[in-house]
């Protein structure tokens, strides 16, 4: 039986080796509460694209196939529970095969489709500066939705406090210094706690980075 990583086709493009490696590193992406943004090419609508077998495919559809297998029918959509496919999300936790009708119905009622990421940030920045009902009216949202955005329950873009700002290269650098006695110094350098650096070194966090 093949593993998820072995199911990645060898002729992904552009820059096939980079794309293949990136997909392999993120098949077991550990965070379900934030979006994983495709770092390569996108189409005019913002969806990630990838070359496979001489064709241009949606990156989120490729990820859905790798994680969940082939769609029940060719017409099934790789549906986003976060409704942020247009922002390039391909988080495997957010993807599932759904019929076109089911995908459309879910999107119609999802609060995120009424605003974009920039507007969500504006709403968070307005917390405490104006009455919630005024913010809701300004953006055409319910008071409950505004409260959820400002509380970070929806439209959350970071993964975990203290870890979201690291790059893969920084994680690899930190791990290369395991056993060097520099844990405290690294914590001060990156402006995080000793425990954050320790967990990275021990692979208790950021397990998806090799």
DSSP-derived secondary structure for 118-178? HHHHHHHHTTTTS-HHHHHHHHT--HHHHHHHHTTSSS---SSTTTTT--HHHHHHHHHTT
Yes or no: say if 87 and 70 are a contact pair by the CB < 8 Å rule: no
Backbone angles phi, psi at 98, to 5 degrees: -140, 155
Q: How confident is the model at residue 62 (pLDDT cuts 50, 70, 90)?
A: very high
Candidate from 4-8, 68-72, 181-185 with smallest mean pLDDT: 4-8
Fold of the 5-108 domain = Smad3; Chain A (3.90.520)
Distance separating alpha carbons of residues 187 and 199, to the nearest angstrom:
11
pLDDT digits (tens, 9 = 90+) for 83-136: 788 888 888 988 999 988 877 765 544 544 567 767 888 888 888 888 999 998
Distance separating alpha carbons of residues 111 and 149, to the nearest angstrom:
10
Domain ranges of the chain: 5-108, 114-150, 160-210
Can you read off the two tokens belonging to residue 200? 């990275």
Residue 1 has pLDDT above 70, yes or no: no
């Amino acid at each position: 039986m093949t593993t998820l990583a072995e199911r990645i086709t060898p002729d992904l493009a552009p820059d096939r080796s980079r794309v293949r490696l990136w997909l392999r590193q993120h098949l077991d992406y550990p965070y379900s509460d934030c979006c994983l943004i495709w770092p390569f090419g996108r189409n005019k609508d913002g969806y990630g694209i990838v070359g496979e077998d001489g064709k241009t495919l949606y990156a989120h559809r490729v990820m859905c196939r790798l994680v969940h297998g082939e769609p029940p029918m060719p017409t099934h959509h790789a549906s986003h529970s976060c409704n942020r496919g247009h922002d390039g999300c391909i988080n495997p936790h957010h993807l599932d095969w759904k019929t076109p009708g089911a995908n459309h119905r879910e999107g119609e009622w999802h609060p995120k489709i009424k605003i974009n990421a920039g507007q969500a940030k504006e709403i968070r920045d307005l917390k405490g500066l104006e009455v919630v009902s005024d913010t809701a009216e300004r953006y055409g949202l319910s008071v409950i939705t505004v409260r959820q955005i400002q509380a970070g329950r929806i439209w959350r873009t970071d993964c975990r406090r203290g870890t979201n700002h690291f790059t893969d290269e920084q994680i690899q650098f930190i791990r290369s210094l395991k056993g060097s006695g520099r844990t405290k110094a690294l914590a001060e350098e990156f402006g995080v706690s000793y425990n954050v650096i320790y967990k990275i070194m021990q692979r208790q966090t950021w397990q998806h980075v090799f």
